[in-house]
Amino acid sequence: MRTPGQLSTSWTALFYILGVFVSFLSFGVAVKENDFKKCSQSGFCKRNRAYADKATIQGSSWHSPYKIVPAEAPLTDGQFRATILKTIDDQGTTVELPLTVSFHKSGTARVTVDEKRRQEKDIEVRHNSAARKERYNEADKWAVVGGLELDAEAKVTHIGQAGIKIQYGPGFAFEADINYDPYSIEFKRDGSTQLKLNDRGLMNLEHWRPKIEKPVAEKQEGEEDTEEKTEDSAVEEVGEDESTWWEEEFGGNKDSKPRGPESVALDITFFGYEHVYGIPEHAGPLSLKETRGGDGAYTDPYRLYNSDVFEYVLDSPMTLYGAIPLMQAHRKDSTVAVFWLNAAETWVDITKAKESKNPLSLGKGGKTNTQTHWISESGLMDLFVFLGPTPRDISKAYGELTGTTAMPQEFAIGYHQCRWNYVSDDDVKEVDRKMDRYSIPYDVIWLDIEYTDEKKYFTWDKDMFRDPIGMGQHLDAHGRKLVVIIDPHIKNTGGYPVIDELKSNGLAVKNKEGKDFDGWCWPGSSMWVDCFNPAAIKWWKSLFQYDKFLGTMENTWLWNDMNEPSVFNGPEVTMPKDNLHHDSWEHRDVHNINGMTFHNATYEALLSRKKGELRRPFVLTRSFYAGSQRLGAMWTGDNQASWDHLGAAVPMILNQGVSGFPFSGADVGGFFGNPEAELQSRWYQAGAFYPFFRGHAHIDARRREPFMLAEPYRGIVTSALRLRYSLLPAWYTAFHEAHTEGSPIIRPMYWTHPGAEGGFGVDNQFFVGSTGILVKPVVEEGKRTEDVYIPDDQVYYDYFTYEKLATAKGKNITVDAPLESIPVFMRGGHIFPRRDIPRRSAQLMRFDDYTLVVVIGKDGTAEGKLYADDGDSFDYEQGQYIHRTFKLDGSKLTSTDAEGRDTAAIKEGSWLQNMHDVAVDKVIVVGAPSSWASKKEVQLEAEGKQSTVKVEYFKGEGKRAPFVIVGRVGARIGADWTIEIA
């Protein structure tokens, strides 16, 4: 959210803790990478990189020390079970590692490796720690919700002394070839190898071993200290350098490591795949870079360790606020993926190797293999394999496994106005009035931490927010909502019932001694709710009841920040790894899931805040993990008011979408700093196409609500906002697709056009859902033209002018991009819905009529969908929704139920009844054929009745395509109808 180095001098509540923050004042105005670990400073990452280096140096002579003992019953009911033996010394001593390979009806395969001795709790934990002896095995309880039904029809096609081959999946198209010595698994689709586990023999599971105290040799007088070793020399001492086995220090904090070294690492090679995507969150390109140095490559692995990183570095593998360990590999017409289910700190190395079978080809025409190396500090070696073959297949299967994005309240996809901080309830009401005065639509205004009484959550500042109910009622009268922030740190102070209850009920995170952990955050001395504990969730839910959290109303919603968790005086600004959570799991085991547990607790709390209430929650989170998409929205954190950060936002949001968490956005205008008017205008134009659309600013930034801009910039921003609102029906339909299919809401070129190789590296433009709307935000200062990549040979039109673009498949075109406009285009063959009456909020548009925009494709057809429900409740789960398919075939335009339901048989609730009065106002057909020029009326058949509707034809002029406007149509939006134009 912000940096402790930028505390406002007006924050008298924090003066008494400033001494504690002295060491943090060096944070300044930009993140210092030295405050966060590099791989060389992370013991387990350094060890495993050295292990990989040793294997590479030895080349073909390297032999992985892992082999399978052939199982007596190799495959039972869709599961292969065996034991991997790890040889740990020259005498042949082995460690037993239970292996389970599960084949699911969904087409996924799961590979899990554990450690027998730890399964049986047959180890000693040092320092009298209460930490669990097992490897953490509960990540799936948080991340996985389905898709685990075993494929009992999976079959063995070959078994021998060297290994076993198992076919599974749809039509037995998938195959797992399990090699015994050395252990590896090769996954094939239609007989072709797609990826291989332990391909390069880099698998490394650090088994438990007792610490043996070694005598320290006395130095002779004058003898030089030879203990210090360089990173390079560590390659020669793999398995022997114990310097980071038993304890580790960073930034003055010591990690006691009561179980010693316990990392898991595995190399995975994607054969013939040059592009890989995913593993958010990082501020870099969509197509992931190599990480072992070289031209344009990073030198450190991608890191996944949820952290409070402010004003983050761009184009970097540095960790940010969330972690989704899902990686997709893509080549022309083929996509596969791996989901590495581990909640501990994780690093991922990526290299690419050119392969050529023809020794005379000199590398030309050879395929590229992407080699990855996954390294986690603790836990199981647990991963899922997806064999596609399309990006849509991956998204669907991953959504079935971890859940799809929550169906949001409709207001949540409107515009959110935020800053740190609106200073009073009068300030909030004045902002609301001015937004109306300048006819600027918005749905939500937000309050940061200053609304509380001395940073005590569930309270209000009695001087500045004297009447929160009156403030909420003022907003409600305009159809608007309020979001307030509540973070996981609870102020440790007397006379505060929340901290008293947290302590007395034993619901706080514990330190390594088992006592309540006390750290420092915004309130000063704080304790953290342990939301891994079901009792803590139950208690947390009680705090949000309307009669408990006084001042909140039905239009009050929530923002969870700082939930990585951020601990100002902790190692890397987070919690010590040897802290203890519910059931005695160490924090190191669960760190990346921690933020999701807090997000989940708040989501559960907002489902019902009074008896009889059940509504869709809205909760924004900063920290996240796989599965967080089920709970709400995220944003990309503490960005800067700079053109570079504007440019970085779209690749980050696209990456969130293809990684299963599409309800995402970036702070419009940049959190830190003061954007000039052009930057702010361009950012609103881009933000109008973020799934989550919020303007936000730092406490030290100048006020920059849209109405404060001078003309022409205020008008430009207002136009961008109105464009967003007119397209809300299309956005809501895209969210429904994400909810039901797991698909991204804004879609990169490789996802929509998996055969168009020129688009695989394109990450600065996107399609909105299935609408055919193509967007290319302008992200460079002073730029007035844009180059747009066209992935196919379909026809494209300018959204605003209907100009037909001169396009060619796989080529870029240059288009005008004046400051007052954003390049937005319509792809032929699509139909999308709009609502064209300007309103002040989404709630006030709920029963407005619709406009349908039909963009005729080259073959004379077009198709699209509309999904609508009450935008608030869960009644859609009982069939209370409208879901239409619109089709144009030749001259006939039809509307039918998208699911083939008998809508007349649905018992209608109040919302469906009200929708009887909502109709199609008009239909705009772009690219209309000249044969329609003479038409003055068209025939409408709706609900058994026939009528005529006026039609007006506009011939093409210059580059503008011909179009027609049909209307007023008047057909009920939820009914079947047909318009015959010819």
List all residues 6 or more positions away from 938 whose beta carbon is below 8 Å from its beta carbon: 948, 949, 951, 966, 979, 980, 981
> Is the pLDDT reported for residue 290 higher than 80?
yes
Q: What is the pLDDT averaged over residues 775-793? A: 98
The amino acid at 637: G
Q: Return the closest-CA partner of residue 267 out of 324, 318, 204.
A: 204
Q: Output the CA–CA distances (angstroms, integers) from residue 532 to 182, 498, 520, in the order listed.
A: 38, 18, 21
Q: Is the pLDDT of residue 7 over 80?
A: no
Which pLDDT score, from 0 to 100, does residue 237 have?
37
Catalytic (active site) residue 786 = no
The closest alpha carbon to 602, from 574, 561, 638, belongs to 561
pLDDT tens profile 324-342: 999 999 999 999 999 999 9
Q: What is the pLDDT of residue 219?
A: 54
For residues 178 and 256, give the distance between their C-alpha atoms in angstroms, rounded to a whole number. 38
Lowest-confidence region among 129-133, 249-253, 652-656: 249-253
- Residue linked to tokens 């504007």: 646
Burial 860-869 (b: 16+ CB within 10 A, else e): eebbbbbbbb
453 is catalytic: no
Instruction: Report the pLDDT value the prediction gives residue 836, as an integer from 0 to 100.
Output: 98
Mind listing the pLDDT tens digit for each residue in 78-104? 999 999 999 999 999 999 999 999 999
The pLDDT confidence band at residue 30, using thresholds 50, 70 and 90, is low
What's the helix, strand, coil split of the chain in %, to 5?
A: 25, 25, 50
β-pair partners for 331: 334
Structure confidence at residue 598 (pLDDT): 98
Backbone dihedral region for residue 921 (phi beyond 0: left; psi -120 to 50: alpha; all else: beta): alpha
Confidence of residue 627 (pLDDT cuts 50, 70, 90): very high
**pLDDT surpassing 70 at residue 304:** yes
For residue 349, give Cα distances in angstroms to 112, 345, 372, 385, 889. 21, 14, 5, 18, 50
Q: What whole-number distance in Å separates Cα of residue 50 and Cα of residue 44?
A: 10
- Residue 416, pLDDT > 90, answer yes
Query: Which amino acid belongs to residue 672?
Result: F
E strands, 426-495, where? 444-447, 481-485, 489-491
Query: What residues contact 500, with CB distance under 8 A and at least 6 apart?
Result: none
From residue 568, give the alpha-carbon distance in Å to each of 534, 621, 811: 27, 19, 50
Identify the band that residue 213 occupies on the pLDDT scale cut at 50, 70 and 90.
confident
C-alpha 55/C-alpha 190 separation (Å) is: 31
From 514, 562, 507, 511, select the one nearest 532 (Cα to Cα): 507
Q: Taking CA 710 as the corner, what is the angle to CA 707 and CA 716, rounded to the nearest 5 degrees?
A: 75
Q: What is the DSSP string of 636-666?
A: --S-BSSHHHHHHHHHHHHHHHHTT---EE-
Identify which of 182, 194, 205 has the alpha carbon closest to the alpha carbon of residue 270.
194
d(CA 692, CA 556): 18
Yes or no: say if 473 and 553 are a contact pair by the CB < 8 Å rule. yes
Mean pLDDT, rounded, for 672-687: 98
pLDDT at 24 over 80: no
Give the active site residue among 53, 140, 311, 564. Answer: 564
- Evaluate if residue 236 carries a pLDDT over 60: no
User: What sign results for the dihedral spanned by CA atoms 927, 930, 936, 941?
Assistant: negative
pLDDT digits (tens, 9 = 90+) for 241-259: 799 999 999 988 999 999 9
Q: Inform me whether the pLDDT recorded for 451 exceeds 70.
A: yes
Calpha distance 860→856 (Å, rounded): 6
Candidate list 115, 281, 311, 561, residue with the active-site label: 561
Indicate left, alpha or beta for 538 from its phi (over 0: left) and psi (-120 to 50: alpha): alpha
Rounded-to-integer distance, Cα 714 and Cα 721, Å = 11
Q: Are strands 937-942 and 945-954 parallel, antiparallel or unpaired?
A: antiparallel
Residue closest to 731 by CA, chosen among 419, 978, 405: 405
pLDDT at 241: 79
Q: pLDDT tens digit string along 739-762? A: 999 999 999 999 999 999 999 999
Average pLDDT of the segment spanning 125-137 = 97
What is the reported pLDDT for 26? 35
Q: Is the pLDDT of residue 17 over 70?
A: no
> How many other C-beta atoms can be found within 10 angstroms of the C-beta atom of residue 641?
22
pLDDT number for residue 982: 82
Cα separation, 116 vs 108, in Å, equals 25
* CA-based nearest residue to 884, from 870, 874, 869, 872: 869
Strand partners, 270: 195, 370
User: What average pLDDT does the segment 199-210 reach?
Assistant: 98
Q: Is there a catalytic annotation at residue 564?
A: yes
Residue 301 token pair: 């692995």
Convert the pLDDT of each residue in 724-734 to its tens digit.
999 999 999 99
Total residue count of the chain as it appears in this document: 982
Identify the CA nearest to 639 among candidates 851, 395, 321: 321
Q: Exposed/middle/buried for 123, CB within 10 Å: 0-12, 13-18, 19+?
A: middle
Digit-coded pLDDT (tens) for 468-514:
999 999 999 999 999 999 999 999 999 999 999 999 999 999 999 99
Helix (H), strand (E) at residue 51: helix 43-58
Q: How far apart are CA 352 and CA 752, in angstroms?
A: 25
Buried b (16+ CB within 10 A) or exposed e, 226-235: eeeeeeeebb
Distance between start and end Cα atoms, the chain: 58
Kindly compute the dihedral angle of the four CA atoms of residues 284, 633, 658, 398, in this order, to the nearest 10 degrees: 140
Question: What is the overall mean pLDDT for the chain?
Answer: 94
> Active-site residue among 349, 382, 448, 638?
638
Q: Which of 174-178, 235-239, 639-643, 657-661 has the lowest mean pLDDT?
A: 235-239
The pair of structure tokens assigned to 566 is 């951020």
Quickly list DSSP for 769-806: TTTTEEE----STT--EEEEEE-SSS-EEETTT-BBP-
**pTM of the full structure:** 0.95
Q: Which of 830, 918, 834 is nearest to 882 (CA)?
A: 918
Q: According to the model, what pLDDT value does residue 583 have?
A: 98
DSSP 593: H
